């Protein structure tokens, strides 16, 4: 781990911000400052982009795909060898229960394992054309990739963005969220230890409006990836447009869980409550709306009520279902949704409870089930990004589809029914990027293309599909007679 407030990794070395400024890092569990990070700004982004650009002209440019893959395999193995240390860092930084943190670190290692295997399998095409010509299409790296990741899954997001970028031969400038950078700092150190050449991976900590904005606006960045709010996503895309570079945006969701009256209620109820309380509901794909067929509404609500009431919230070490939200601003935002819903007369069906490990100075919010929620209410339309579940009844397939598609978002949907024909009918009509039938999340799904439509953004991450985002097609036409 680099020295405190020397958290910029540029051109293979740890350094402070050019301004020498630093930011305090607070624990969500108790609100106390436990370390500091460098407050990088445009000057530091300039250094990092320059290092990444120079690295494209060095050994990295001519390194065979299998050699890149070996370095990434080394990194995957180092992550697993240091998994408990990184999980403890992640839990302290984000407040998530330690079991969730351990799962995230295993997923991070899996990203590098998966894309290491793909690094020498990025295939082109041979196209039929006129007699006397040979036409090939090859995939080339984009160049310098600016990756701006959020605070909810910092380690996993490190893997999700950095791994495909490196596998395809790009260089990287990573800007982690100021609220949760610590695991990314440790991972950058392990990447260097794994044999990554200097300048290939650069990390700049700091504020989004300073370091993040400078990275998105830099004219020598060739590709941008951003996960966060639609509002900031608009700024990122505007900056990308000014420099005529492509970007992948994942901007959140208001994902529906659609429960028909023939569903496996036990499995559905357990999964739905688990999903909305995981990471304190701070998950872009969290199923925050549960649409229940009216003929089964009372019976299924009773099951959800029982499970939500049993949820306990506490410190990471207590290893409960739910921890704190990331900071005081987020706690106030989520509490505001709860207060306004009550003021609007929406019934609180069930709430979880605080465990003895939850101290008053921590950023804890009680998981809450509301219902029935009008489809026009903000609980049914806006992303709360907290452990809040809105129950909404529906009559039939047509109404379920209309309600499910009736928000500005379109990221993920869960569909619970034993009717095979209905499964496909409904799945095809849902305007989302992923549909899970009788399951949700698929264990992290490193192999599964992920991304949304509408206000949830565009482009795809994860799986082999991500390799297309990080490469550009070049057509070569050879006349040979």
Residue 206 backbone phi and psi in degrees, to 5: 150, -175
Residue 170: the pLDDT is 98
Q: Report, at the CATH architecture level, how domain 8-251 is classified.
A: 3-Layer(aba) Sandwich (3.40)
pLDDT over threshold 90, residue 5 = no
Q: What are 252's two structure tokens?
A: 């959140």
Active site (annotated) includes residue 250: yes
pTM: 0.97
**Of 40-54, 79-93, 125-139, 441-455, minimum mean pLDDT range:** 441-455
Mean pLDDT of the chain: 97
Average pLDDT over residues 86-93: 98
Q: What is the pLDDT of residue 4?
A: 54
pLDDT digits (tens, 9 = 90+) for 174-189: 999 999 999 999 999 9
What is the average pLDDT across 459-478?
Answer: 98
Give me the residue spans of the domains in the chain: 8-251, 256-445
Architecture of domain 256-445: 3-Layer(aba) Sandwich (3.40)
**What 3 state SS string does the chain have?**
CCCCCCCEEECCEEECCCCCCEEEEECCCCCCEEEEEECCCHHHHHHHHHHHHHHCCCHHHHCCHHHHHHHHHHHHHHHHHCHHHHHHHHHHHHCCCHHHHHHHHHHHHHHHHHHHHHCCCCCCEEECCCCCEEEEEEEEECCEEEEECCCCCHHHHHHHHHHHHHHCCCEEEEECCCCCCHHHHHHHHHHHHCCCCCCCEEECCCCHHHHHHHHHHCCCCCEEEEECCHHHHHHHHHHHHHHCCCEEEECCCCCEEEECCCCCHHHHHHHHHHHHHHHHHCCCCCCCEEEEEHHHHHHHHHHHHHHHHCCEECCHHHCCCECCCCCHHHHHHHHHHHHHHHHCCCCEEEECEECCCCCCCCCCCCCEEECCCCCCCHHHHCCCCCCEEEEEEECCHHHHHHHHCCCCCCCEEEEECCCHHHHHHHHHHCCCCEEEECCCCHHHCCCCCECCCHHHEECCECCCHHHHHCEEEEEEEEECC
* Per-residue model confidence (pLDDT) at position 441: 87
Q: Is pLDDT above 60 for 16? A: yes
Tell me the mean pLDDT in the region 376-393: 98
CA angle, 26 as apex, 20 and 31 as ends, to 5°?
Answer: 150
Q: Does residue 2 carry a pLDDT above 50? A: no
Query: How many whole angstroms from its chain centre is CA 152?
Result: 7
Question: Comparing C-alpha atoms, which of 387, 382, 437, 407 is closest to residue 258?
Answer: 437
Residue among 219, 208, 235, 203 at smallest CA distance from 44? 203
Q: With bands split at pLDDT 50, 70 and 90, how would you rate the model's confidence at 67?
A: very high
- DSSP bridge pairs for 144: 171
Residue 356, pLDDT > 90, answer: yes
Mean pLDDT on 400-424:
98
Mean pLDDT of 2-26: 90
Calculate mean pLDDT across residues 73-90. 98
Contact in structure between 352 and 387 (CB atoms under 8 Å) = yes
CB atoms within 10 A of CB 268: 25
Task: Name the residue among 275, 356, 364 with its Cα closest to residue 318.
Answer: 356
- Considering 113, 178, 210, 250, which one is annotated as catalytic? 250
β-pair type (256-259, 412-416): parallel
Give the pLDDT confidence of 315-355 residue by residue, as tens digits. Answer: 999 999 999 999 999 999 999 999 999 999 999 999 999 99
Which tokens belong to 18?
């050019």
Give the pLDDT score at 3: 47
**Cβ neighbours of 105 (radius 10 Å):** 26
pLDDT at 193 over 50: yes
Average the pLDDT over 71-96 and give the result. Answer: 98
Residue 285 clears pLDDT 70, i.e. is over it: yes
pLDDT of residue 443: 64
Q: What would the pLDDT profile of 135-146 be if each residue is shown by its tens digit?
A: 999 999 999 999
């Amino acid at each position: 781990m680099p020295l405190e407030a020397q958290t910029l990794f540029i051109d293979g070395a740890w350094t402070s911000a050019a301004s020498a400024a630093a930011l305090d890092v607070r624990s969500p569990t108790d609100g106390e400052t436990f370390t500091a990070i460098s407050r990088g700004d445009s000057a530091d982004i300039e250094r990092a982009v320059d290092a990444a650009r120079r690295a494209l002209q060095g050994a990295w440019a001519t390194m065979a795909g299998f050699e890149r893959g070996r370095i990434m395999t080394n990194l995957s193995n180092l992550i697993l060898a240091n998994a408990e240390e990184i999980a403890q860092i992640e839990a302290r930084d984000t407040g998530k229960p330690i079991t969730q943190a351990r799962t995230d670190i295993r997923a991070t290692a899996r990203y590098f394992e998966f894309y290491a295997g793909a690094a020498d399998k990025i295939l082109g095409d041979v196209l039929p054309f006129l007699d006397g010509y040979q036409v090939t299409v090859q995939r080339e790296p984009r160049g310098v990739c600016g990756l701006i990741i959020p605070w909810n899954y910092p380690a996993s997001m490190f893997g999700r963005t950095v791994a495909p970028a490196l596998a395809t031969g790009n260089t990287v400038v990573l800007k982690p969220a100021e609220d949760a950078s610590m695991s990314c700092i440790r991972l950058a150190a392990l990447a260097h230890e794994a044999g990554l050449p200097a300048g290939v991976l650069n990390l700049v900590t700091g504020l989004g409006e300073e370091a993040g904005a400078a990275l998105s606006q830099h004219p020598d960045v060739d590709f941008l990836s951003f996960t966060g709010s639609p509002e900031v996503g608009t700024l990122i895309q505007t900056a990308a447009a000014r420099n005529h570079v492509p970007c992948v945006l994942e901007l959140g969701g208001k994902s529906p869980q659609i429960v028909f009256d023939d569903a496996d209620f036990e499995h559905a109820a357990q999964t739905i409550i688990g999903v909305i309380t995981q990471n304190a509901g701070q998950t872009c794909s969290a199923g925050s709306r549960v649409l229940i067929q009216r003929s089964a509404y009372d019976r299924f609500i009773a099951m959800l009520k029982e499970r939500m009431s049993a949820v306990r919230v506490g410190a990471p070490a207590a290893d409960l279902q739910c921890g704190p939200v990331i900071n005081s601003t987020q706690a106030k935002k989520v509490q505001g949704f709860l207060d306004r819903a009550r003021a609007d007369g929406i019934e609180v069906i069930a709430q979880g409870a605080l465990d003895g490990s939850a101290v008053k100075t921590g950023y804890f919010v009680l998981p809450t089930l509301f219902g029935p929620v009008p489809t026009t209410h903000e609980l049914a339309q806006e992303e709360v990004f907290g452990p809040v579940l809105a129950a909404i009844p529906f009559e039939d397939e047509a109404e379920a589809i209309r309600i499910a598609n009736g928000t500005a978002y379109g990221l993920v949907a869960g569909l619970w029914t034993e009717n095979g024909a209905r499964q496909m009918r409904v799945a095809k009509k849902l305007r989302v990027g992923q549909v899970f039938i009788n399951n949700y999340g698929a264990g992290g799904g490193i192999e599964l293309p992920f991304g949304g439509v509408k206000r949830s953004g565009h482009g795809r991450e994860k799986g082999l599909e991500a390799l297309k985002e990080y490469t550009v097609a070049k057509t070569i036409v050879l006349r040979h007679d």
